[in-house]
Structure 1
Amino acid sequence: MKTSELPIRPYARLLTMLSEQLIKNERIALLELIKNSYDADANLVRVTFDAFNDDMTARSDSRIIIEDDGHGMSPEVIRESWMNPANPQKYIRKKKGNRRTLGGKRIVQGEKGIGRFALLKLGSHITVTTRTECSSFESVLVHDFTKYDSEFTEDQIENRDIYLDEIRVLYSEISPPKTITQQHGTKIVISKVKGVWSKQVVSRLIKDLSALTDPISKIAKHETATDSFLVTVECNGSPWQIEDKNEEILKRLIEDKSVLRIQGKFDSEIGSFFLSVNEDENKYTEIKLDDSLIIGLLKNNQYLDREIIIARELECGSFEFHFYVFDFSRGISGKHELNTSEKRVLKDYRIYLYRDGVRVYPYGDPEDDWLNIDVARGTGRAGNFFSNDQLVGWIDITQEHNPKLRDKTNREGLIEEGNAVSEFFGLIQTILSYIKSHHYAQYQAKNRDRNAVDIVRSEVVSGNLATLRTDLERQGLSSGGREVARIEKLYKREKDHLIQRAEMVEDLAGVGLSVEMASHDIMLLMTRAMDIGKELSRLSRKLENDTILRLSDMLVGVLSQIADGINDIQSLFKSAKRRRKALRIEPILDKMYQLYQGLLEKRGIRYEKTVVPGSPLVADTNEGVAMQVLINLFDNASYWLDTVDNNDKKINVTVDGTNGDLVFSDNGPGIDEDDLPYIFEPFYSGKGQEGRGLGLYIARQLLERHDYQISVAKKNQSKSPGANFVVSFVKEAK
């Protein structure tokens, strides 16, 4: 057997192939070169588009020039680094803990040594002139790659067999310096320009440059940059404004119209978020990953789940974040109201990602849904998620604390290797869901207009009309009194109609919530019935009469349970709810426990019922109302108990006929003090995607129709350390 070693010899066209296919577009390529200037500790970078058409399309004599006042390259650096793409020196320095630039003022952004491929994305002929501090000469490199395009033309056929190691770059040293007249710096001139250029592309580049070094934080915090890094752009001799023209508008909107201003961080060592809301920097709230609210939100998180958090330490590392939340709802008024032009401005901004103060692309582009927010809104209930439009902010990561969050070579986001990136995205999704279901929901509850039905039910309008009629009659204005009396009758008619319509909607909503749970159990029974039916058919062929009889009896029993379930659903409908009678509550409670028994056993939840000796608990209501209230209490308790790590999960219900109430308790996480004022408000829920925020609201509305109440138990009424609700079946005094 003959063996030998064969060398790898790429063709010269590999360079242009890499530049064209590795870097997404000309805009990203130019930004890469500007980031090289950043790593060179430059304070000023001048980008010039020379000899372009008025519409910024390129001509044959067009040039792109990048000049900076960075530390420049020495001949040694040129030979050992610049001429050796993928040079590992920066990476090795970082691995040794030396992440700072040569001047020590910044964190080095590049590490792969391939940023120079961006040059070949922009043009085929490149001249690089560079000078280090105190050097008596400048170094000049001339790259002419017109012969090595990835797609050869007819006159380039002879170049097809040129290998990469055969390429030569013209190098010279000029003394005294003619191009770099300042003490140090670099100038790159790119001719034979490639790519599709236009005014729109250059305008987009301008916007990217304005967001290169974390502008929103400076807008929000009124800060002046401590590290001076200025980029100017000139097109055919005329300067283009780099500053974002909407920055002042955004600054005003953040100050005056943002609903929530969130400042926070995630500490990966202890597994906790820390949040400060609306600039209360003296009050940071800790939210642990094993908090029941977070565990509940993780049920529908596409990146994280409970087992991942419990099983191992997170790999993504600690990070900080700032979010500004706006209300895009229609019909709102007051200080948070946004007009059309203000909404348009906000839609141009997103949540950006910055590493050591420099943007990670493309995260933050208006069309880039990097946190899958729009996907979540499209596949789930949109109301459970913020929209991209109403969120502005940034997230700060660092090379030191987030070493596994690394850029893709093509600068199209982070490398999705291992678990670090998915965990990072999942944590951001989770804290945004928490803010939406907690802080933003509280804002909505506080600012929601009082329901028109509540106003009508309060009899305020009727009382005012009656007072007006009496006053008019007392003053001898009988005709005015008669007119008011006529208005009273019309108002009463409309009031009754409105209340009837509202109660119908509440009934339908209650039925929907109940049917969802009941239908699940009915479908399980139906599946079991079908299995038995199939077995019956199979055995009938063998004519074993005893077995057939036994299975037939089982089938009848299962179908009987289905019928009972359907009857329970029927009792929830409006016609049944209208018929009141004196009902004992305990049998209805037992029926609801049977409905939930399977779910409680599956989740390891123990159920205890305590009946206080004395009179039975009786209510003047109907079975549908009582069932609806108990369904919501069972549903909430089972959900929250499923979020805690407890070997003795328990629901305790105390039935007290003497005092006329039922106390429903669990030993789950309980109700956060901040949530107490809002839990009976419509659409307020801590369950994330699983919650609708209607259950307790509907339960309260149904009970109030019958002059009964549901409330959170006082301390002396509480039976368990978790959530405790009191349902009072004592008529409220009118």
Structure 2
Amino acid sequence: MGVAPKSGTLKPRPYARLLSMLSDQLIKNNTVALTELAKNSYDADASWVQIRVGNMDNFERDGLSDKEKPFVEIEDDGDGMSFETIRDSWMNPASPDKYKRRLKRKIKTRKGRVLQGEKGIGRYAVFQIGKKVEIFTRQRADGNKGGDEIKLITDLSGYSEGLLEHKKLKHPAEPLYLDQIESRYFIRDDAQFIKPGTISIEGKRLSRKTHGTLIRISELNYKWTLTNVRRVREILSRLQSPFGKKDFDVSIVFESEEIPTFEDFDLLEVLDEALLQMTGDVGKMGICEYSLSRGTRKERKRLDLIEHLKQDAVPENREHFFDKGDNRPRKPQCGPFQFKFYVYDLETMTDPKLKSYIKEHRLYIYRDNIRVYPYGDPDNDWMKLDIYRGLVRASYYFSNDQLIGYVDISSERNPGLRDKTNREGLLEQGTAYEDLRLLTLSALNFLHTEYQTEKLKATKKAKRHKERKSELYLQTERVEQSIRSLDRHLKKAKDDKGRKLITRLTDEYVKERNIYRRQIEIVEDLAGVGIAVDATSHDLMLMMNRANERMKEIQAILRSGDPDLDRLRDKADALEGLITSISANLSGIQPL
């Protein structure tokens, strides 16, 4: 090694293993990988994307032809890519193309969609799925026609683990640099794959266009099962907001069979069945213009969410927007946003399938009409409702199970709400995310008070109805009516002695009647205790099942051989919160 000069310049030159780090460590699983690729199709103004998985029976078999090898394909009818886009953007990690467009505020596509990507690494999700990637693409040109078909082949299967060197080398060599990984390309004027034809998308026969992109991935890292594919189907069915108009279809095919969405109900019809609906538009200072619907009744008002948060049962929440020694709240850093919540009374619901369907949904976050994961997953409690119900009292907060809804943010209005690099939620640096969460919680707390009022009205109405219909009530009415008739008769007959006797008899009757009513109320109170214990036991079983799921996830992470410490910490925190909630719920029913 020569002697280094006394001064000079150095340039960074990333090693090839950066590719495996981007795919393995920033994209945690196949579902996240396919979500990122589907978002790329959305950004390309595709009207559909189809994901095809096949030849899984041949996984890990040797001596297979290319057609026999297990594969995953992602095809769309988007605008496709030019050779320049492939050379300057696709081939280079952290390419700044979309980021520069954001800086210039040119964030909308030809169809008016807001671009989802900006970090320039989502495309490396392909290597999370497999080692060999073939891309066929035709760019949309004038007249809605496609240009030349470009084929790009990147095959990492010939390299060692971590992309340190070629497998064929007999002797260890210097670790490979990223610019030593080569991809081959071919440009054809007669298209092989992106050409006219028909395709089935969510059961509909559509005509293929002469532009779009097909990505074929082989030399797969994992074997795909029908269960895996159904999970992907379920998650990607909610990629675009289901609460509004959709213009982007996602189709999943496993072994040549299209996988349906398995929805027993139409979401929009279920939303109409909610006991309460609340729509809100939250301004930059936390003032919410909202409409509240109770069946056919609707009201429109304003609510100061920061001021209302002072009524929250958790001290840290009440103090969140106030610095020490300052009575004036600070400005929320999250920016303005919208929301819509639907509340259900599961106790009065008789259809078990409908009840199960409602429980599968949660409060989602959508940015520019595309879902931010994992908010809304059944095991995701980003509002911390389960924790608060355990720490304080279950009756103070909604259960996650009885809520469906979404919070709508945008990249333009909410620049402080940015994705984590690993696509696992929003960054929690600064206060923007927590501001969003607690303003949303404040709105939910207000809605919970309205819900309790409606429940109380319904309970009183049912009780009055029950009393009117009860045989005991009818019998006492008949007795009292007879007493009044007898008193009128004695008055007409001017029988004072008889009237004194009937007065004494009436007093004795009222005393006995009141005793019976008090006894009935005691029985009803005991029944109420039973209902409270039953409701708490339901919550306890739910939390214990979730705690068991978190424990299994922790065990799986620890057995992986290379545990993701951040993910492990998140699961451990969730488990601790659930155990705390279980303990608090048990303490709550102990006095009963």
Shift of 1:380: 1.2
Deviation for aligned residue 1:38: 0.6
Identity across matched positions, percent: 34
Q: Which amino acid aligns with 1:142?
A: I
Distance 1:59 1:23, change over 3 A: farther
Distance 1:290 1:131, change over 3 A: closer
**Structure 1 residues 114, 350: closer, same or farther in 2, change over 3 A?**
same
1:407 aligned to 408, 411, 419, which one?
419
- Following superposition, the deviation at residue 412 of structure 1 comes to 0.3
1:260 aligns with 2:287: no
Residue 203 (1) aligns with residue 211 (2): no
Report the CA distance shift for 1:312/1:67 in structure 2 as closer, same or farther (over 3 A).
Answer: same
Identify which of 452, 466, 475 aligns with 2:479.
466
Once residues 153 and 472 of structure 1 are traced to their aligned partners in structure 2, the CA distance between those partners, rounded to angstroms, is 106
Q: Deviations over 1:707-733 (max 9, x none)?
A: xxxxxxxxxxxxxxxxxxxxxxxxxxx
- Deviation for aligned residue 1:65: 0.8
Question: Is the 1:58–1:193 contact (alpha carbons within 8 Å) kept by the matching residues of 2?
Answer: no
Correspondent of 1:234 among 237, 246, 253: 253
- What corresponds to 2:217 in structure 1? 190
| Deviation by residue 1:417-450 (Cα, 9 ceiling, x = unmatched) | 211111011111111111112x112102211247
Q: How far has the Cα of 1:180 moved from its partner? A: 1.7
SS state of the match for residue 233, structure 1?
Answer: strand
Tell me the residue number matched to 1:295. 310
Equivalent residues of 2:15, 2:177 under 8 A apart: yes
3-state DSSP class of the match of 2:346?
coil
Rate the CA distance shift 1:159–1:464 in 2: closer, same or farther, 3 A: farther
Contact 1:51 1:59 in 2 (8 A): no
Partners of 2:293 and 2:179 lie apart in 1 by: 60
Q: How much has 1:85 moved relative to structure 2?
A: 1.1
1:448 to 451, 459, 468: 459
- Within a 5 Å distance, the mapping from 1:256-655 to structure 2 comes to 256=273, 258-268=274-284, 270-278=285-293, 283-289=299-305, 291=307, 293-297=308-312, 300=315, 302=317, 305-307=320-322, 310-329=328-347, 332=348, 337-437=349-449, 439-449=450-460, 463-464=476-477, 466-467=479-480, 494-495=516-517, 497-498=519-520
Instruction: Report the alpha carbon displacement of residue 97 of structure 1 after superposing the two structures with TM.
Output: 1.0
Q: Given the superposition, is the C-alpha separation of residues 317 and 503 from structure 1 closer, same or farther in structure 2, using an over 3 Å criterion? A: closer
Q: Note the C-alpha offset of 1:184.
A: 1.4
Instruction: Assess if the C-alpha contact under 8 Å between 1:465 and 1:488 holds in 2.
Output: no
Distance 1:68 1:311 in 2: 48
* SS of match in other structure, 1:353: strand
CA drift of 1:501 comes to 8.3
**Structure 1 residue 133 displacement after superposition:** 2.5
SS of 2:162's equivalent?
coil
Provide the rounded CA distance (Å) in 2 between the counterparts of 1:500 and 1:245.
45
Paired residue type of 1:232:
S
Offset of residue 493 of structure 1: 5.7
**Equivalent-residue separation in structure 1 for 2:61 and 2:18 (angstroms):** 26
SS of the aligned residue for 1:66 comes to: strand
Aligned partner of residue 345 in structure 1, secondary structure: helix
Out of 241, 247, 252, the residue aligned to residue 214 of structure 1 is 241
Match of 2:155 in 1: 144
Count of residues in correspondence between the two structures: 470
Distance 1:387 1:344 in 2: 14
Deviation for aligned residue 1:352 = 0.9
Shift of 1:191: 0.2
Gap change, CA 1:160 and 1:394, over 3 Å in 2: farther
Alpha-carbon contact 1:70-1:185 (below 8 Å) kept: yes
Change (3 A) 1:16 1:431: same
Q: What is aligned with 1:130?
A: 137
1:136–1:207: structure 2 CA closer, same or farther, 3 Å change rule? closer
Distance change (3 Å), C-alpha of 1:380 and 1:282: closer
Distance 2:161 2:422 in 1: 20
**Which residue of structure 1 lines up, in the alignment, with residue 50 of structure 2?**
46
Give distance in 1, aligned partners of 2:303 and 2:346. Answer: 27
CA distance in 1, matches of 2:311, 2:101: 43
Contact map agreement 1:64 1:191 (CA 8 A) in 2:
yes
Structure 2: distance between partners of 1:417 and 1:108: 23
The structure whose RCO (Cα within 8 Å, separation 6+) is larger is: 2
Q: CA deviation at 1:245?
A: 1.6
Give the deviation of 1:500 after TM superposition: 7.4
Tell me: CA distance 1:298–1:12, structure 2 relative to 1, closer, same or farther (3 Å).
Answer: same
Q: Distance in 2 between matches of 1:504 and 1:247?
A: 38
CA shift for structure 1 position 175: 2.5
Whichever residue aligns with residue 381 of structure 1, its letter is R
User: For residue 114 of structure 1, what is the amino acid of its counterpart?
Assistant: I
Counterpart residue number, 2:124: 117
1:426 counterpart letter in structure 2: L
- Given that 1:303 and 1:425 are in contact with CA atoms closer than 8 Å, whether structure 2 keeps it comes out as no
Q: Deviations over 1:179-216 (max 9, x none)?
A: 2224311110000112352222111111112101111x
Instruction: Give the aligned residue type for 1:405.
Output: L
Preserved CA contact (<8 Å) 2:418 2:426:
yes
CA contact (8 A) 1:58 1:197 kept: no
1:458-477 CA-to-partner distances (Å, cap 9, x unmatched) read: x9667425248769999xxx
Say which is worse superposed, 158-167 or 495-504, in terms of deviation: 495-504
Alignment-mate amino acid for residue 107 of structure 1: V
Could you say if the C-alpha distance between residues 294 and 83 of structure 1 is closer, same or farther in structure 2, counting changes exceeding 3 Å? same
Deviation track 1:104-152 (CA, whole Å, cap 9, x = no partner) reads 4311000010011100000000001111134552111101112143288
Structure number with greater Rg is 1
Q: Which residue of 2 aligns with 1:177?
A: 191
Q: Determine helix, strand or coil for the equivalent of 1:22.
A: coil
3-state DSSP of counterpart to 1:314: coil
**Structure 2: segments with no counterpart, 5+ residues:** 63-68, 196-208, 488-507, 529-587
What's the CA shift for 1:312? 2.8
Alignment of 1:58-97 (within 5 A): 61-97=69-105
Report the CA distance between 1:350 and its aligned residue: 0.8
Tell me: CA distance 1:504–1:212, structure 2 relative to 1, closer, same or farther (3 Å): closer
Query: How many Å separate the matches in 1 of 2:306 and 2:123?
Result: 46
Match in the other structure for 1:656: none
Structure 2 CA distance, aligned partners of 1:80 and 1:205?
31
Output the CA distance in 2 between the equivalents of 1:72 and 1:505. 65
Separation in 1 of the partners of 2:264 and 2:518?
51
Secondary structure of 1:408's counterpart equals coil
Aligned to 1:32, which of 32, 36, 42?
Answer: 36
